[in-house]
């Protein structure tokens, strides 16, 4: 798949970014952080990477994007940008779950890998992996419930991800000597990782449908919850005759 030119977008967290890959080889990567919205900078960053490689946007054969979970707004922006590009360029689109991307930073460790994202509301997004393979559902779960699940495994537990910083003290106390904390530089999803995982799927011709691809929220957004409340409040039941 060396001729595949992949543009990878990561917008699930605070550190967004864009990467350009030829197959599994990262040609360039720009990590974006700060108060500006992802929507203002994704296409700008993509254009810079293409110019540095003397490529044109028409050369892109696949757009890869992080699906989440993560920032609801960031995910919508990233996927809308990816779908717009894939439609305009008539190229492939591939969505990569954020937790899968984090877990791929520790593919061969002997134990259970558990990436963590802050889900707010005293919860984390998490999933469990063994030697690169996911062995659980994607979860929105309290740290206490997750710790109980992790204690059921005999293996060492490897924790990583942005959510770890928030609950590090809790997990160190709850899991004690069972846990290994991954280095901080592995705790953020890089756009290059999204692109590499997309290249693996391309090798098996595993491509998403542009019409069907959706963000992986795991739980409803606050806007969806509020909409549901509004619909319930405004729905009137028929009166009995």
The mean per-residue pLDDT over the stretch 175-204 comes to 95
Rounded CA separation 235/157 (Å): 48
- pLDDT, position 209: 98
pLDDT tens for each residue of 35-88: 566 677 899 999 999 999 999 999 999 999 999 999 999 999 999 999 999 999
Residue 226: pLDDT band with limits 50, 70, 90: very low
Pair (17, 38) in one structural domain: yes
Q: Residue range 217-241: average pLDDT?
A: 51
Q: How confident is the model at residue 13 (pLDDT cuts 50, 70, 90)?
A: confident
Three-state secondary structure of the chain: CCCCEEEEEECCCCCEEEEEEECCEEEEEEEECCCCCHHHHHHHHHHHHHHHCCCCHHHCCEEEEEEECCCHHHHHHHHHHHHHHHHHHCCEEEEEEHHHHHHCCCCCCCCEEEEEEEEECCEEEECCEECCEECCCCEEECHHHHHHHHHCCCCCEEEECHHHHHHHHHHHHHHHHHEEECCHHHCCCCHHHHHHHHHHHHHCCCCCCCCCCCCCCCCCCHHHHHHHHHHHHHCCCCCCC
| pLDDT surpasses 60 at 1 | no
User: Which pLDDT score, from 0 to 100, does residue 230 have?
Assistant: 42
Same domain? For 80 and 147 the reply is: no
pLDDT category at 2 given cuts 50, 70, 90 is low
| 2-6, 60-64, 138-142, 195-199: least confident range | 2-6
Rg (CA), the chain: 20
Alpha-carbon distance of 39 to 29, in angstroms, equals 17
In a domain, 235, yes or no: no
Residue-wise pLDDT for 103-148, tens only, equals 999 998 999 999 999 999 999 999 999 999 999 999 999 999 999 9
Overall number of domains in the chain: 2
Residue at 18 is within a domain: yes
Answer whether residue 232 shows pLDDT above 70: no
Q: Are residues 60 and 92 in the same domain?
A: yes
Chain mean position to CA 37: 17
Measured in whole angstroms, the distance separating CA 85 from the mean position of its chain's CA atoms is 19
Residues 16 and 131 grouped into a single domain = no
In a domain, 49, yes or no: yes
Please say whether the beta carbons of 114 and 127 come within 8 A: yes
User: What is the reported pLDDT for 37?
Assistant: 61
Alpha-carbon distance of 30 to 50, in angstroms, equals 11
Position 3 scores a pLDDT of: 79
Residue 123 covered by a domain: yes
Task: Judge if 84 and 9 occupy the same domain.
Answer: yes
Note whether 171 and 206 are same-domain residues. no
| 229 vs 153, residue with greater confidence | 153
Answer yes or no: do 50 and 85 share one domain.
yes
- pLDDT at residue 122, as a whole number: 96
Q: How many residues does the chain have?
A: 241
Q: Which distant-in-sequence residues (6+ apart) come within 8 Å of 167 by Cβ?
A: 116, 124, 143
What local confidence, expressed as pLDDT, does residue 79 receive? 96
Beta bridge partners of 68: 97
Q: For position 14, what pLDDT does the model report?
A: 81
Q: What is the pTM of this model?
A: 0.89
CATH number at residue 51: 3.30.420.40
Domain extent for 199: 5-98+188-222
Scored b (16 or more CB within 10 A) or e, 179-210 reads beebeeebbbbbbbbbbbbbbebbeeeeebee
Provide the pLDDT for residue 237.
44
207 and 156 co-located in one domain: no
Is there a single domain that holds both residue 42 and residue 91? Answer: yes
Same domain, 93 and 197: yes
Residue 240 belongs to some domain of the structure: no
Residue 231 pLDDT > 70: no
């Amino acid at each position: 798949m060396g001729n595949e030119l992949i543009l990878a977008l990561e917008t699930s967290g605070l550190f967004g970014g864009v990467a350009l890959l030829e197959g599994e080889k990262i040609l360039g990567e720009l990590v974006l952080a700060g108060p500006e919205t992802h929507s203002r900078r994704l296409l700008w960053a993509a254009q810079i990477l293409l110019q540095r490689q003397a490529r044109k946007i028409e050369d892109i054969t696949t757009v890869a994007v992080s699906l989440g979970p993560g920032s609801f707004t960031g995910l919508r922006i990233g996927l809308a940008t990816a779908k717009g590009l894939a439609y305009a360029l008539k190229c492939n689109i591939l969505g990569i779950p954020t937790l899968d991307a984090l877990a791929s930073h520790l593919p061969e460790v002997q134990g259970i890998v558990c990436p963590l994202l802050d889900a707010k509301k005293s919860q984390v997004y998490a999933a469990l992996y063994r030697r690169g393979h996911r062995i659980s559902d994607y979860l929105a779960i309290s740290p206490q419930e997750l710790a109980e699940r992790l204690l059921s495994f005999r293996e060492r537990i490897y924790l990583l991800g942005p959510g770890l910083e928030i609950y590090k003290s809790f997990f160190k106390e709850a899991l004690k000597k069972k846990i290994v904390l991954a280095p901080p530089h592995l705790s953020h999803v890089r756009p290059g990782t999204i692109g590499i995982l997309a290249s693996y799927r391309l090798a098996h011709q595993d491509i998403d449908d542009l019409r069907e691809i959706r963000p992986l929220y795991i739980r409803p957004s606050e806007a969806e919850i509020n909409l549901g409340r509004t619909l319930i409040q405004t729905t009137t039941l028929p009166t009995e005759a």
